[in-house]
Amino acid sequence: MGESYIEKALTGAVKARGGMALKFISPGMSGVPDRLVLIPGGVIAFVEVKAPRERMRPQQIKRKRQLEELGFKVYQLDDIKMIGGMLDEICTT
């Protein structure tokens, strides 16, 4: 099970909840999370998708910290079993 499989499962699960999991690319700023998750009701979170047991690079950790300091939820997802609980947490924010 690779990163693309987990990412596809995430986008499907978000869509099933009525939301969108947009691919997030920010030209000129490296290390941003892979997905911008938008949930009905104006809920926003960022998700960095990784293959199982893969870790974030230092630049990704820096961006995660910056986004969290701005008040956003940022998650690392490396197992499809985490998706339901993660979305439950995002939706109750």
Q: How many domains does the chain have?
A: 1
pLDDT over 80 (residue 1): no
Return the CATH number at 9.
Answer: 3.40.1350.10
User: Assign residue 4 a region: left if phi > 0, alpha if psi is -120 to 50, beta otherwise?
Assistant: alpha
In this predicted model, what pLDDT tens digit does every residue of 52-92 receive, in sequence order?
999 999 999 999 999 999 999 999 999 999 999 999 999 88
pLDDT over 80 (residue 34): yes
Q: What global pTM score does this model have?
A: 0.93
Yes or no: say if 54 and 1 are a contact pair by the CB < 8 Å rule. no
Tokens of 73: 């939820």
In this predicted model, what pLDDT tens digit does every residue of 7-26 receive, in sequence order?
999 999 999 999 999 999 99
What is the per-residue pLDDT for 93? 66
Yes or no: say if 80 and 67 are a contact pair by the CB < 8 Å rule. no
Task: Tell me the residue range of the domain where 14 lies.
Answer: 3-91
